[in-house]
Amino acid sequence: MIKLFYSKEWTDYELLDTGEGEKLERFGQYIFVRPCEDAVWPKCQTLGVGQSWKNADGKFWSSKVGAKAGWVFSKNGSWGSSLKNRSLKWEMQYKDIKFLASPTPFRHLGFFPEQASHWDFIEEKIKEWEDVRRQGSPDVGRLKFLNLFGYTGVASLFALRAGAEVTHLDASKQILNWAKENQKLNAELVDAPMRIIEDDAIKFLEREEKRGNKYDAIIMDPPKFGRGPKGEVWKIEEMLPKLLSAVRKVLSDKPLFVIITSYAIDSSSLSLGYALADMMKSFSGTIEAGELCVLEKSNKRIIPLANTAVWSNIQ
């Protein structure tokens, strides 16, 4: 059965409406329009005051509609020129974890709201593990958590707060600097144990295997296409089997969970689930495959935005 993963506990973010290939979202004090190709229904015309499509502060134009791709920002009710220096940056939070939001050249704003349910899962599972450890095996060290393709590090911060020792990896130095900024926003986590590493994911995993380093929990959000810090080409349809094989080799003997998320257009949550189940077949555990979603305010619909699969151990 396909599971729908979503959170009802956002306050700084809202999906206000969807329709006609777009979505209207509130990020803190700002409202933006972004592409949502699967929204093949009409837009709502009865949104709340100040939260209508015409009141949006900015819009990301997709090249698919014949326009020049990129952000434009509203000026006196009409779309103005693109914000080339992307200086617009503000603070947001989810369950008291703080992070920065800012429009990026790739339509994102530095985090993915639909991943909030995974953040909840990560923190809950690690806290449970820590409670058991303290009661039964106080000499055992912190849970080792690996975030591959970690982006700006919001998931890593939830793992840190739960008590994990975190390794956060991404191929972009700029994005990793953003992750460091996000850690600094959370005073109680500034000195928490998080390694932030710039590297190609598979090369890093191969070196970790040789070093004998193991991880108890791993999450990964591989892109459809990308390049490593030394120009390594990544194509998910070609590299995913190799990635999962490398991940399997750095798992501890008793892993807690493994999460994979994909925004690849032609991917399937069932495919991710089958691949993850095969990777974890030597462990006793459960697999849930489904879609990461957000709740739409205008029509109370559940809008799917990514595919995911989660393996967790049997307690």
pLDDT per residue over 253-309, tens digit each? 999 999 999 987 667 899 999 999 999 999 999 999 999 999 999 999 999 999 999
Residue 132 is predicted with a pLDDT of 80
For residue 1, is it within any domain?
A: no
pLDDT of amino acid 65: 57
Q: Is residue 69 part of a domain?
A: yes
**Is the pTM value of this prediction over 0.85?**
yes
Structure confidence at residue 45 as a pLDDT band (50, 70, 90): confident
Q: Which domain holds residue 35?
A: 11-74+83-101
Q: What is the mean pLDDT of residues 135-139?
A: 65
Band of residue 40 on the pLDDT scale cut at 50, 70, 90: very high
The domain that holds 22 is classified in CATH as 2.60.40.1180
CB 219 within 8 Å of CB 147 = yes
Q: Domain count of the chain?
A: 2
Q: Show the CA angle centred on residue 12, arms to residues 9 and 14, nearest 5°.
A: 75
Same domain, 26 and 163: no
pLDDT, residue 72, reads: 86
* pLDDT value of position 113: 98
Tell me which of 6 and 76 has the higher pLDDT.
6
Whether the predicted pLDDT of 152 surpasses 50: yes
118 in the same domain as 95: no
Distance, in Å, from the CA atom of 152 to the CA atom of 177, rounded to the nearest integer, reads 8
d(CA 142, CA 73): 45
In this structure, are 38 and 139 located in the same domain?
Answer: no
For 248-267, the DSSP string reads HTTB-SS--EEEEEE--TT-
> Which residues fall within 8 angstroms of residue 107, CB to CB, at 6 or more apart?
34, 35, 60, 62
Is the residue at 299 inside a domain? yes
Task: Specify the pLDDT at position 226.
Answer: 62
Kindly report, residue by residue over 59-101, the tens digit of the pLDDT.
Answer: 998 876 555 778 888 765 455 554 444 468 999 999 999 999 9
Looking at the structure, tell me whether residues 139 and 29 fall in a common domain: no
Instruction: Supply the pLDDT for residue 82.
Output: 47
Give how far Cα 206 sits from Cα of 140, 213, 220, 248, 253, Å.
25, 10, 16, 11, 18
249 and 167 share one domain: yes
